[in-house]
Chains A and B, each alone.
Chain A
Amino acid sequence: MTSRAQILARVKENQPELKPLPPAELILSENWGKTPDTVQQQPASANAGQTLHNLEQFRSVLTTIGGALIEVPSYGEILEYLKEHYQAEQRIISTLPELSSIAEPGWENNDPHSLENVDLAIISAHFGVAENAALWITEDLMQQRVAPFICQQLAVVVSKNEILATMHDAYARIGEAEYGFGAFIAGPSKTADIEQSLVLGAHGPKGMTVFLIG
């Protein structure tokens, strides 16, 4: 008997009587804390209020976890900001065609180890989550999986209309999307393993800037 067969047989023998999953509408509800029958359609004005609330919460949480938020009307301002804060000799990579004038070309198909000395990576996110300032980024937006982790500084561009309230909204948005790899990234890499002292920049980026665009 293989271990697989043995494990499966023992699981079958020992698992208790079937218990149902909780109702699906509870898990994806945008109205946590309310029961399904009290969830009502919100008027358009309330949605606008919610968007503003999400933005404020996102900003506040991102700052708390060590990130920085910069609101920009368009990519032009991002370019200006980067030119001001980074020198020509620094290695900058980006997945965004709008920023190609300041970024290195052709890195996408090289060995991932070659990104070892990248100073700044600028990529975009599908959306952000207000409750924890996490940004959902899939492999197609990273080009190389290691890019947002190996760089010294990470910058992420996200539309200001794409800040969702909670993780339930996030997974409702992700739905059945196909990806090889995807990650929620919330702030710079950090550790508190030495006497609970928070230090930014454990293995990954030492800083994270979010450009809220639009």
Chain B
Amino acid sequence: MARVYFEEISKRFGGTHALRDLTLEVDDEEFFVLLGPSGCGKTTALRIAAGLEEPTAGAIYIGDRDVSFVPAKDRDLAMVFQNYALYPHMSVRDNVAFGLRMRGYARDEIERLVQEVTATLGIADLLDRKPGQLSGGQRQRVALGRAMVRRPQAFLMDEPLSNLDSKMRVQMRAELVRLQRDLAATFIYVTHDQVEAMTMGQRIAVLEGGKLQQVGLPQDVYDRPANRFVAEFIGSPAMNVLEGDLVVEGGHTAVRTPAGLVRVSDAASADVREQNITSLAVGIRPEHLTPEATESAAATSAAAASPAAIIEGQADLVESLGSEQHVTVVAGGWSVVANLPSSPRIERGATLRLAVAAEHVHLFDIESGERVGP
């Protein structure tokens, strides 16, 4: 197993930049997720690592070896494709053994390895079937088996779960994580699904427009998105973003948004002043909007006593999920989504006063989109 290092990789297809200056280090034995919307360059990055695509500029290292000019077959990597890329005319056994045959393994050695891998994956009884006779989950396992059997330096996975139904996807998510742990292998996993990224990745990298937006632990990326794109891309329902100008009122710096004033913390206002920012985007995650505390509760809770903002509006849409309810509140002509406990049940049209604590307010420079403050 080995680390994989992208050094200032750029890739152009004709006039379009698929990747710009991507530098990224994937640690040995790490489950690393490349996350981004379609067309962000994540698959291109993976294919460049695999050797299926040549970068326009930059270098790729596997371990300490520069493999930029090494053909795909000699990089000792395995790839799992979105549509599994199983050979439809070959049995499961032949599919798994295909790569070994080319590498000149002995016949009984191949059979032993195939048996071993398929037993691990629980598909040993499917060896003589053709891919067409398998369910999506089974095909997925065959594709994994084909990758595992070669004991590669690293596994490259291109949206491997996106063709499964939702129940199977949840199950395979856990299995992949366990598999990665058991193999102690380096995984580079590409997905557009933030839930997969959050649940599986030890670290995640968010890409957009061919550029790296943020790298970090999933929780860090969620808690402190580096810019507005990451903030809005990660989280479901998506973060509420309100734009407004900076004002000073009652000695406090605040942003005047259509939904009301949002107080800026002292730490953030120092940054704002330093950078001469005049207008800001305010981000609030739906779960951080809570019904304003009653007078008696307010007395006992210091944090709730001084919320950064109170948003008051009418409930326009209530989606009950059983465990919680997503309420769309219209305030000052803007829609804000709040994630509230399922009880008390909110009726459509009800007036709500929602509070957010100062530490849950994210601020972004409107011009650059970059995060401002801590």
A and B: interacting chains: no
B residues sitting closer than 8 Å to A (CB atoms) are: none
Q: What residues of chain A have their CB less than 8 Å away from a CB belonging to chain B?
A: none
